[in-house]
Amino acid sequence: MKQEYTITAYTENQVGILNKIAIMFSRRKISLESLNTSPSEVENIYRFTIVVKESESVVKNLVKQIGKIVDVLKVYVNTNDEIIWQQIALYKVPTEIIMKEAKVERLLRAYGANAVVIRNDYTVFESTGQDEEINKLLSELHKYGLIEFVRSSRIAIMKASEGIHKSILELEKNDPTKDPINNEFLSLKSKIFQM
């Protein structure tokens, strides 16, 4: 069964990494519902947030393939209940109508929308939320002469995540120059070994 999955990929800051991630989807003819790139809490490490509607098995395999891209540090996949997520939307509406119709103002307030720019001819509002609320406000504002609309891609925080800091330390710790591997443990079958 297809459902929404949010993929979070931490990457090195490399030119072309966007393409390398994107072709993983296009090769399998999977369209992206949304894609966002942003810095992460660690300097020089980027964070991709990608939303797809797919079946679990497809997403699982896809995520493993993304994880194989050399410049990708870590990939996570979450269902919607495992993340806190938001999007931002901007709406441009004729100022005249807002001034005239008090319900528009009430409407905007109900949706927690804030004015970003107010000019004589138009006003730009922003609202933050999830698809549903944003789409509702959008359809409402259509009735009042909406001039322009744009919605950002999803950004998401994983509820269970401890951030990338720890992982990075772990990945760097595995640098054999700093922590040489001892192959003799191979005969000790009870020990978990790291490469």
Partner 1 sequence: METIKQHTNTKENQKAHQASGSIAVIDALLSENVDTIFGYPGGAIMPIYDALYDYRDKLHHILVRHEQGAIHAAQGYARVSGKTGVVFATSGPGATNLVTGLADAMIDSTPVVCITGQVFAHLLGTDAFQETDIVNITSPVTKWNYQITDANEIPEVLAKAFYIAKSGRPGPVLIDITKNAQLQLFDYNGYKSCIHVRSYRPKPVVKPEYIQAAADLINQAKKPLVVFGQGVILGNAEKEFLQFIEKANLPTAWTIMGMSAIPTDHPLGVGMVGMHGNYGPNYLTNECDVLIAIGMRFDDRVTGRLDKYAKQAKIVHLDIDPAEVDKNVLTTVPVWGDCKETLPLLTALLEPKEHKTWMQEFQDKMQYEKEVLIDKERFPETEELTMGEVLFELNELTHGNAVMVSDVGQHQMVVCRYSKQNQTRSNITSGGLGTMGFALPAAIGAKFGAPERTVVAIMGDGSAQMNLQELGTIMQFQPNVKIIILNNQFLGMVRQWQELFHERRYSFTDITSPDFVQVAKGYHIKGQKVAERSELKKALTEMLASNESYLLEIMVAKEDNVFPMVPQGKGVSEIVLSKDQI
Binding site for partner 1 (CB under 8 A): 11-12, 15-16, 19-20, 23, 27, 60-61, 64-65, 67-68, 70-73, 168, 171-172, 174-177, 186-187, 189-195
For the CB of residue 146, give the shortest distance to partner 1 in the complex, in Å.
Answer: 38
By beta-carbon proximity to partner 1, the closer residue of 28 and 106 is 28
By beta-carbon proximity to partner 1, the closer residue of 50 and 73 is 73
By beta-carbon proximity to partner 1, the closer residue of 159 and 166 is 166
Contact 91/127 with Cβ under 8 angstroms? Answer: yes
Distances from the Cα of 17 to the Cαs of 9, 21, 47, 55, in angstroms?
Answer: 11, 6, 11, 25
Q: Look at strands 83-94 and 72-79 and give their pairing.
A: unpaired
For the CB of residue 192, give the shortest distance to partner 1 in the complex, in Å.
Answer: 6
Contact 87/153 with Cβ under 8 angstroms? Answer: yes
For the CB of residue 89, give the shortest distance to partner 1 in the complex, in Å.
Answer: 32
For the CB of residue 123, give the shortest distance to partner 1 in the complex, in Å.
Answer: 40
In degrees and rounded to multiples of 5, residue 153 shows phi and psi of -75, 170
Give dist(CA 75, CA 69) in Å, integer.
10
Contact 155/85 with Cβ under 8 angstroms? Answer: yes
By beta-carbon proximity to partner 1, the closer residue of 31 and 44 is 44
